[in-house]
Structures are given as structure tokens and as C-alpha cells.
């Protein structure tokens, strides 16, 4: 006589290891290295999860588990009551996972004990379709996409660098984009500033950018700052954002933004262009050099002409701005290697990238250990050569 499901489940539970909700609570409280895998269906998961749990529906477990856990890592599986997770635990044992267990009683017993739960961000069907190419990437998935939707990025400038960065960050689903720019759209901008159109000539750039971004992705909230960045407003403007993209076109603003980011402990992704050349790097607070380590003193004004004076190849800001956006997405997702400590330069005429090593200046007045950051008169600082 063939065994019943009850007989099969009884045999499975003899083969696997079950752990109590008290034990899992202790693991979480002690911050032990453990991977919690929720094998319930999406509608169940949307109602709540154990803190930090990763969602892999039971039907996809064999396909996706390698993306989330190594075979020698501590893995705890759970479902609603402990049945599906027990069967899943046996499957993972057969796949070579050596430290896998099932949560006895599952999510229901955890919830009944009034232990902490999280309300995960669950993507709508339209969002799943929009971000489908992200969701198939193991490094992003639904968890990463939800993180992007909750992220807040500030762009200094809606010009040559800010335009491509804003468009691609919006397309990627970064939930809030702040844009700082006091200028209006001019006909000469349209050679490189792809956020704007001829019809929006004369409009404030932040409003033109808002219209373009909202037309591209309604998931994105745009926070416009139609003002110049100054020592009086920089701390207020930076306060609510996770990181900053520096698309400024003058040295006083770059030094101001650098010092304010160090003071606030926020990553600063720097980009700049000049004629046929561009450069990009990432400054991480308390970890690597800052802008003043790269440029301890500003160049004389006559050696630092603006794009209006020196010109710039129209496609060049697009390339550098997209590199800045790439750096931002990696930092927000916590994947890959940033450009911190490296300056990437691009020569458009020769179509060549070069990488230079950047080191933290032990005497830097801003980021050296024990340095006291003070926001100063940056126009005067740059006009007098520091």
C-alpha cells in the first residue's frame, strides 16, 4: 500500500532538522550569520515576514537558492505552518546544503508568539513587468528593486551630467530624486542636456526635469530645489537623501558639496567634463579620499574655464553621467566594487579609459582623522587659490 502524505511528512521530519521559534529569535537577537528563507507564496509573504528574510517561493527554490545561500551557510526555511519548509529542507539537503533546518510551526507560530515581523515592499504586477529585467538579476531581484524604490538620490544640476543620470536612475526605479538647479532651459543646453526639450525653453530646469522624469516613470517622486547650492542651504537640502551625484560645473560648488557630504556622512559621486575629456569617481565618507584629497587647492580661474567658455562634445556628459548613475545604483543595492579610491578618466578623441589610484591625504583639512569640517566662503576660497 502506497504511503499517505502524512506518512511521507513524518518520514521527512525524521530526516531533517527542525528548530524552534525561540531558537531563531536568539539567532536574530545575537546577529548570528543565518539566512532566513521564506518559501510561502507571494500573497502570504506580502502579509509579513521574519526580519531580514528572503522570499523564494517553494516552486522556485531549487532554481534560486544558489543566488542567496552557500551550501555551508546556516539556512532556516519557513512557511506558514512548517510543512512546506520541511519538504524544502529535505530537498536542500539532497542538493548538498549541510546546515539547513525548518522552522517548527512556521510563520504562524512566530506571529502568535508576538515576535517581530516586517512588512515587505511587494511590487505590483505593473512594477514587476516594468522592472522585469532587474528582477531576473540575482544581484537585484524583488528585494533589490524594493530597496531602489525606497532610495533617495540628490542630483546637483539638471544639466549635461544630471540629465542622463536622472533619466537612468528614474528608469531604474529610484523612488525619490532631488534636483538642485537655479537655471532655466536655454537653446544652447539642448546639444547635451537630454532632460529638456525645445518646448520647455525658458522654463526652470527643475520643472522641466520633473516633467521628463514623471513622464518616464510615475513611480518616481521628484523633489525640485530651484536654488543655488550655498553654505546657507546645503545641509537642509542634503538632509533627506541617501547619496549625492555631483554634476556641478564650477569649483566653489564642488568644494562646498564635498565638505557638506563629509560633514553629513553621505556618499558623493563626482563627475566632470571638459571639451573631449571626462572623469568620474566616488567619495565615500570615512572610507577613502574626498574631493580635497584629489584637488587640495583650486586652480586659478583662468585655468578652469566653464563649458560655455571651452566647449564640450555633446555626447561626453551622457557617458560620464551614466557612469555616475551606475555608481549610485551599485551603492544603493550594495553590490559590486565602487570607484572609491580610483579616478576613472575618459578621452573621447582617443576612445580610451584610464584609471588612476587616489589616496587619502593624511593632512586633508576635511577628511583626515580628527579634522573639523567647517563650511566656508567657497567663492573666496577658489578666487584666492585656497
**CA separation for the pair 120, 43 (Å, rounded):** 11
pLDDT attached to residue 120: 87
Q: Phi/psi of residue 165, each to 5°?
A: -60, -45
pLDDT attached to residue 233: 97
- Return the DSSP state at 301: G
pLDDT attached to residue 47: 92
Inform me whether the pLDDT recorded for 76 exceeds 90. Answer: yes
pLDDT attached to residue 226: 97
Nearest Cα to Cα of residue 146 among 49, 20, 212: 49
pLDDT attached to residue 309: 74
**For the chain, how far is it from start to end, CA to CA, in angstroms?**
89
Q: How many CB atoms lie within 10 A of CB 109?
A: 17
Superfamily classification of domain 5-120:
Rhodanese-like domain (3.40.250.10)
Q: Averaged over 50-68, what is the pLDDT?
A: 92
CATH of domain 151-383: 3.40.50.720
Pairing status of strand 342-347 against strand 277-283: antiparallel
Measured at the CA of 187, the angle between CA 167 and CA 272, to 5 degrees, comes to 50
Contact 276, 334 (CB under 8 A): no
Mean pLDDT of all residues belonging to the chain:
94
Inform me whether the pLDDT recorded for 2 exceeds 80. Answer: no
pLDDT attached to residue 121: 82
* Cross-sheet strand order for the sheet of 221-225: 221-225, 176-180, 152-156, 243-246, 268-274, 277-283, 342-347, 352-357
Q: What is the pLDDT of residues 245-303, one digit of tens each?
A: 999 989 999 999 999 999 999 999 999 999 999 999 999 998 899 999 999 988 876 66
**CA separation for the pair 28, 11 (Å, rounded):** 29
pLDDT attached to residue 383: 82
Contact 99, 35 (CB under 8 A): no
Q: What is the pLDDT of residues 305-339, one digit of tens each?
A: 666 778 999 999 999 999 999 999 999 999 999 99
Contact 283, 291 (CB under 8 A): yes
Q: How confident is the model at residue 143 (pLDDT cuts 50, 70, 90)?
A: confident
User: Where along the chain do its domains lie?
Assistant: 5-120, 151-383
pLDDT attached to residue 14: 92
Contacts of residue 240, Cβ cutoff 8 Å, sequence gap at least 6: 152, 178
Q: How confident is the model at residue 386 (pLDDT cuts 50, 70, 90)?
A: low
What are the Cα distances from residue 365, in Å, to 157, 300, 329?
26, 20, 30
DSSP β-bridge partners for residue 100: 75
Inform me whether the pLDDT recorded for 58 exceeds 70. Answer: yes
Q: Which residue has the cell 587619502?
A: 360
Q: Which of 290, 307, 367, 382 is catalytic?
A: 307
Q: What is the pLDDT of residues 24-33, one digit of tens each?
A: 999 999 999 9
Classify 153 as helix, strand or coil: strand
pLDDT attached to residue 32: 93
Nearest Cα to Cα of residue 249 among 309, 202, 196: 309
pTM surpassing 0.85?
A: no
pLDDT attached to residue 310: 81
Pairing status of strand 176-180 against strand 152-156: parallel
Cell numbers linked to 205? 530646469
pLDDT attached to residue 249: 87
Whether 293 sits among the annotated catalytic residues: the reply is no
Nearest Cα to Cα of residue 343 among 330, 356, 333: 356
Inform me whether the pLDDT recorded for 304 exceeds 70. Answer: no
**CA separation for the pair 293, 362 (Å, rounded):** 9
5-120 against 151-383: fold identical: no
Inform me whether the pLDDT recorded for 127 exceeds 70. Answer: yes
Sign of the dihedral through C-alpha 238, 240, 243, 248: negative
Inform me whether the pLDDT recorded for 67 exceeds 90. Answer: no
Q: How confident is the model at residue 189 (pLDDT cuts 50, 70, 90)?
A: very high
Q: How confident is the model at residue 194 (pLDDT cuts 50, 70, 90)?
A: very high
Amino acid at each position: 500500500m502506497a504511503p499517505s502524505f502524512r506518512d511521507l511528512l513524518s518520514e521527512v521530519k525524521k530526516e531533517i532538522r527542525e528548530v524552534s521559534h525561540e531558537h531563531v529569535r536568539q539567532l536574530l537577537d545575537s546577529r548570528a550569520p543565518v539566512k532566513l528563507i521564506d518559501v510561502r507564496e507571494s500573497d502570504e509573504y506580502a502579509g509579513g515576514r521574519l526580519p531580514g528574510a528572503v522570499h523564494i517561493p517553494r516552486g522556485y527554490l531549487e532554481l534560486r537558492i544558489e543566488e542567496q545561500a552557500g551550501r555551508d551557510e546556516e539556512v532556516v526555511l519557513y512557511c506558514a505552518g512548517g510543512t512546506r519548509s520541511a519538504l524544502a529542507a529535505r530537498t536542500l539537503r539532497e542538493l548538498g546544503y549541510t546546515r539547513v533546518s525548518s522552522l517548527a510551526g512556521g510563520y504562524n507560530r512566530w506571529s502568535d508568539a508576538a515576535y517581530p515581523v516586517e512588512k515587505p515592499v511587494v511590487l505590483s504586477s505593473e512594477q514587476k513587468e516594468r522592472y522585469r529585467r532587474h528582477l531576473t538579476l540575482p544581484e537585484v531581484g524583488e528585494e533589490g528593486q524594493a530597496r531602489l524604490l525606497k532610495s533617495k538620490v540628490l542630483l546637483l544640476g539638471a544639466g549635461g551630467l544630471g540629465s542622463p543620470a536622472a533619466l537612468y536612475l528614474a528608469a531604474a526605479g529610484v523612488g525619490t530624486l532631488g534636483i538642485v538647479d537655479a537655471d532655466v532651459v536655454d537653446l544652447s543646453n539642448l546639444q547635451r542636456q537630454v532632460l529638456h526639450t525645445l518646448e520647455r525653453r525658458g522654463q526652470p530646469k527643475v520643472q522641466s526635469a520633473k516633467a521628463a522624469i514623471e513622464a518616464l516613470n510615475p513611480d518616481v517622486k521628484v523633489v525640485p530645489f530651484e536654488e543655488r547650492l550655498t553654505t546657507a542651504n546645503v545641509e537642509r537640502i542634503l538632509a533627506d537623501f541617501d547619496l549625492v551625484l555631483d554634476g556641478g560645473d564650477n569649483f566653489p560648488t564642488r568644494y562646498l558639496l564635498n565638505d557638506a557630504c563629509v560633514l553629513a556622512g553621505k556618499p558623493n559621486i563626482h563627475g566632470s567634463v571638459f571639451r573631449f575629456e571626462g572623469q568620474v569617481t566616488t567619495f565615500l565618507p570615512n572610507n577613502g579620499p574626498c574631493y580635497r584629497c584629489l584637488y587640495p587647492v583650486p586652480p586659478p580661474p583662468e585655468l578652469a574655464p566653464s563649458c560655455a567658455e571651452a566647449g564640450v562634445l555633446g555626447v561626453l556628459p551622457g557617458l560620464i553621467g551614466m557612469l555616475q548613475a551606475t555608481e549610485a545604483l551599485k551603492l544603493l543595492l550594495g553590490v559590486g566594487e565602487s570607484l572609491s579610491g580610483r579616478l576613472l578618466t575618459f578621452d573621447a578623441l582617443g576612445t580610451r579609459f584610464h584609471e588612476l589610484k587616489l589616496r587619502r591625504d593624511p593632512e586633508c583639512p576635511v577628511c583626515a582623522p580628527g579634522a573639523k569640517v567647517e563650511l566656508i566662503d567657497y567663492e573666496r576660497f577658489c578666487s584666492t587659490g585656497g
